[in-house]
């Protein structure tokens, strides 16, 4: 019997569709939408649940022609009923990173809805997914939400938004202010708020959630005052704002460089943007996807900018505790419940040639190579070529395993930790502390640390020596290990029995939070996951066979103090590009702080 249940659970990857004979019709603000109804097996209850699915619903006018490089316009009413049976095309993107065989187009602002059939007037909590991909690539249809919707008993919405040049080209003025991709996300969220009740959703229980660049987007949306009351909760998985990869200070120069490539060279920004609107889309795709044009870089040449419209604060320092945000921004951020966390080995993302690892599978650096070459690439990448030598010495000291400093396996592990801690861990703690401070007792803050050694084959991390949970490998657990037909075969994963069980636990925690703002209720796993505060620094260590003992305090505190306190002070106050009496004064303060740091966090 147990074997039959497991077999049935695995069959959900090939759910049988009966859409030809079963449909469901909804009247929305844009017109009549016809969806299809599938029978989906619920592995937890052993029953079949009817799931209504609506694919390819337009939430904005196509951003083409004169609408290119502008905020999206609301979708005008449909002239006839829409049969929402097929996915839309993905948004145009950097093709070298494409994750699957899916057609792309500028006409791409569509959303998908997965809605379990409700009982009478029952209203379900709603979860709105924002995909990742460095704001350069990705699409909604690679995330199949049948299991999340059915087992979590929530409505799940996925949608496309513009990326790369289409989503973030900016001239720094009113001609092309930028952030169109963020405006797309906002419009999708607003469409959900205005229409989801017709699909059985509760407009007072809407959660936005996302991973990586999608997580960064979640934080951007959580800071935007225009979203007030459009959603009540947010889940940010492995990403926040202010990271080096999400900020490019040369974005206006990159717009001019694109103009030169496209034969639109001019000093007049209006003329430049008008000309770029007429460039064939396939040429734009070529310019940002071919290394030879100089626009295939990391960070992306086109990223979110402080436009004083959507982003009205300093991205890099917005979440620092000493930084004062605009009043409306603070009110928005404090009005939501927030859950955020990281995976155990996020730094696996950086084990690639771009960051000095030519052969990831056989990567085994000695200490000299790490100190003289890999650290230099790290500093140049994260700090824009400003090689802070004092910071270099402290980073090397912190990321050396002094019990066996010449062990190459230890050095490799420290390399992965360095990138994961600095890029993801530091941002995590800044986000937690800022939200907890602003939200006070009104709304809750929860932190998790996902710490397992997955058994599944495939996934995002190809190195055989890598055993922990890498960047992005939480996603299969969250979506119940459903694999879209359009993604590459090497990204498709097959779970073991314990991974299926853990997937169900994660779906329960996430959907609990979406329903109540408390991951412990209504489906109690017996964990007593307590909210995070700056005092207790409580978090849930998500692992196999979780119990209340998995609720812990002060994750990775030494190194998080290093990245959130010591290193920023070194970089910002040492006056690394000049020498003056004020520099010496600042240096003295830093040396004193360093002494205390090393004393209380002894190596």
How is residue 173 written in tokens? Answer: 């003025």
- Please tell me whether the peptide bond between 9 and the residue prior to it is cis, using omega within 30 degrees of 0: no
Residue 127 contacts by C-beta under 8 Å, 6 or more apart in sequence? 148, 152, 154, 155, 156, 157, 206, 207, 208, 209, 510, 511, 514
Residue 600 contacts by C-beta under 8 Å, 6 or more apart in sequence? none
CB neighbours (10 Å) of residue 472? 21
Beta-sheet pairing, 445-450 with 538-542 = parallel
Residue-wise over 292-324: b if at least 16 C-beta within 10 A, else e? eeebbeebbbbbbbbbebbbbbebbebbeeeee
- For residues 129 and 158, what is the distance between their CA atoms, to the nearest angstrom? 5
Q: How many CA atoms lie within 13 A of 495 on its CB side?
A: 26
Annotated catalytic sites, by residue?
212, 346
483 near 451, Cβ under 8 Å? Answer: no
129 near 140, Cβ under 8 Å? Answer: yes
Query: Which residues face 81 on adjacent strands?
Result: none
Which phi and psi (to 5°) does residue 237 adopt?
Answer: -105, 110
Query: Which residues face 487 on adjacent strands?
Result: 100
247 near 179, Cβ under 8 Å? Answer: no
Query: 3-state secondary structure string, 79-131?
Result: CCCEECCCCCCEECCCHHHCCECCCEECCCCEEEEEEECCCCCCCEEEEEEEC
R_g over Cα of the chain: 24
């Amino acid at each position: 019997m147990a074997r039959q249940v497991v077999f049935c659970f695995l069959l959900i990857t090939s759910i049988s569709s009966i859409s030809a004979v079963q449909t469901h019709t909804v009247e929305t603000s844009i017109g009549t939408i016809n969806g299809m109804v599938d029978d989906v097996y619920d592995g937890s209850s052993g029953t079949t649940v009817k799931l209504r699915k609506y694919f390819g619903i337009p939430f904005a006018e196509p951003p083409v022609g004169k609408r290119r490089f502008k905020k999206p316009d609301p979708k005008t009413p449909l002239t006839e009923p829409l049969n929402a049976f097929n996915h839309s095309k993905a948004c145009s993107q950097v093709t070298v990173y494409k994750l699957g065989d899916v057609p792309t187009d500028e006409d791409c602002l569509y959303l998908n809805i997965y809605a379990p059939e409700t009982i009478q007037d029952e209203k379900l909590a709603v979860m709105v997914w924002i995909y990742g991909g460095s704001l350069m690539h990705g699409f909604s249809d690679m995330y199949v939400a049948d299991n999340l919707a059915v087992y979590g008993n929530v409505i799940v919405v996925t949608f496309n938004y513009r990326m790369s040049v289409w989503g973030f080209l900016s001239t720094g003025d009113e001609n092309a202010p930028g952030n169109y991709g963020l405006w797309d996300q906002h419009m999708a969220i607003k469409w959900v708020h205005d229409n989801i009740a017709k699909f059985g959703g509760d407009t007072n229980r809407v959660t936005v959630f996302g991973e990586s660049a999608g997580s960064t987007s979640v934080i951007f949306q959580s800071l935007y005052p225009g979203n007030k009351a459009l959603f009540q909760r947010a889940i940010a998985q492995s990403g926040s704002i202010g990271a080096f990869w999400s900020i490019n200070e040369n974005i206006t120069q990159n717009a001019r460089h694109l103009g030169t490539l496209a034969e639109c060279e001019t000093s007049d920004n209006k003329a430049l943007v008008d000309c770029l609107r007429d460039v064939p889309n396939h040429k734009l795709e070529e310019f940002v996807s071919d290394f030879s044009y100089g626009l295939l870089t990391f960070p992306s040449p086109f990223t979110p900018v402080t436009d004083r419209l959507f982003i009205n604060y300093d991205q890099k320092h917005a979440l620092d505790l000493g930084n004062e945000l605009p009043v409306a921004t603070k009110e928005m951020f404090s009005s939501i419940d927030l859950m955020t966390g990281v995976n155990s080995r996020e730094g696996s993302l950086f084990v690639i040639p771009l960051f000095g690892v030519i052969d990831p599978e056989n990567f085994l650096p000695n200490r000299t190579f790490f100190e003289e070459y890999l650290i230099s690439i790290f500093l140049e990448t994260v700090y824009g070529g400003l090689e802070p030598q004092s910071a270099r010495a402290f980073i090397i000291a912190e990321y050396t395993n002094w019990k066996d400093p010449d062990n190459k396996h230890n050095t490799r592990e420290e390399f992965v930790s360095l990138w994961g801690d600095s890029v993801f861990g530091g941002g995590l703690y800044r986000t937690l502390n800022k939200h907890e401070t602003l939200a006070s007792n009104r709304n809750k803050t929860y932190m998790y640390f996902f710490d397992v050694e997955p058994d599944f084959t495939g996934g995002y991390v190809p190195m055989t020596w890598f055993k922990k949970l890498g960047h992005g490998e939480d996603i299969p657990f969250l979506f119940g290990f459903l694999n879209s037909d359009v993604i590459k075969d090497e990204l498709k994963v097959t779970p073991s029995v314990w991974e299926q069980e853990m997937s169900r636990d994660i779906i329960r925690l996430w959907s609990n939070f979406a329903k109540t703002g408390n991951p412990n209720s209504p489906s109690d796993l017996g964990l007593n996951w307590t909210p995070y505060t700056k005092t207790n620094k409580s978090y849930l260590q998500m692992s196999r066979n979780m119990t209340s003992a998995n609720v812990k305090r002060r994750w990775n505190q030494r190194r998080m103090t290093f990245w959130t306190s010591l290193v920023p002070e070194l970089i910002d106050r040492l006056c690394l590009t000049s020498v003056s009496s004020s520099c010496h004064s600042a240096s003295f303060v830093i040396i004193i702080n360093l002494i205390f740091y090393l004393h209380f966090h002894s190596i």
